[in-house]
Amino acid sequence: MQLHVLTKKLQSIKQQSRLDDLVHDLDMLDFDVLFTTVSGGSISKGVGIVLHNRLLQHIHGLSFHAYSDRICALHFTFHNRRIHAFAVYFPTTWDTDEAVFQVYDIWDLLMQSSAREHAVPIIGGDFNACLGAPMPQDDGERLGSHGSGPRNHRGDMLARWVLQHNLQILNRSCPTPQPFDDWTCCRVADRVRVQIDFLLSSPSIAVQDMW
C-alpha cells in the first residue's frame, strides 16, 4: 500500500483569484491525499482534505467528519486497511495555551477512536509548533532525526503528544534535498523561517521518499 501525502497552507481563498490559483495548483500537484489549512484571521480559518481522482477508484467506505474549523476527517478503506485521515490547524502563538490544550483534548478522543477501530491515523496540517533540530533526549524514530532551528514551548507540547499516542512525524524522518530547506513558514515578526507544518502517522507507516 502506497500513498502520496501532502500538506499545503493556504491564505484566504475567499477571493476568486486565490481560489482559481488553488484549482490550478491542484491540477499540477502529484498527490493522493492533500491536507489543507486556510489562515486569514478568526473569520476565515479552516481545514480541508482533498483526494485525487485516481485514489477514489481504489477506496470504499468513505465518510467525512467536521469537528470544528480546526479539525476535520476523512475515513476510508484502502487495500483492506482502514484509514482515518485528519486535517488540523492549531492555535497560533497569539492564542493562549488553554486554547491549545482544548484542541489536544479533542485529539486525544480522536486517537482513542482510531485505536478502537484499528484504523491507521494520518494527520496533516499546521501545528503552529517548532520542533527544531533533534535534541539528545529525543526518540528519533518517533520525533524524527532531521530538522533545524530551536524548539519552542508548543514544540515541546507536540513532542509529548506524539510520544503519548505512539505516533511518528513523517516529514522529519528523511533529510530534505537541500540543507535547512525544511521550513514551511516565514514568520512575519522576525522573518525567521520555521517548520510548523507536519505529517503524522502510525509507526507502521514507512516513508519511501520526501520532497
The 10s digit of each residue's pLDDT in 74-120 is 999 999 999 999 999 999 888 999 999 999 999 999 999 999 999 99
Q: Taking a C-beta distance cutoff of 8 angstroms, is the pair 144, 172 a contact?
A: yes
* Cβ neighbours of residue 150 closer than 8 Å, sequence gap 6 or more: 130, 132, 133
71 φ/ψ angles, rounded to the nearest 5 degrees: -145, 130
70: nearest Cα among 97, 100, 98: 100
**First vs last C-alpha separation in the chain:** 19
Helix (H) or strand (E) holding 140: helix 140-143
* pLDDT (tens digit per residue) in 169-205: 998 876 665 555 566 666 666 666 777 889 999 998 8
Q: What's the whole-model pTM score?
A: 0.87
Stretch among 18-27, 31-40, 93-102, 156-165 having the lowest mean pLDDT: 18-27
3: nearest Cα among 44, 48, 55, 59: 55
What are the DSSP calls for 25-46, one per residue? Answer: HHHH---SEEEEEEESSTTT-E
* pLDDT (tens digit per residue) in 106-159: 999 999 999 999 999 999 999 999 888 888 888 888 898 888 788 899 999 999
Residue 21: pLDDT band (50, 70, 90) is confident
34: nearest Cα among 20, 18, 22: 22
Question: CA-CA distance, 145 to 184, in Å (whole number)?
Answer: 17
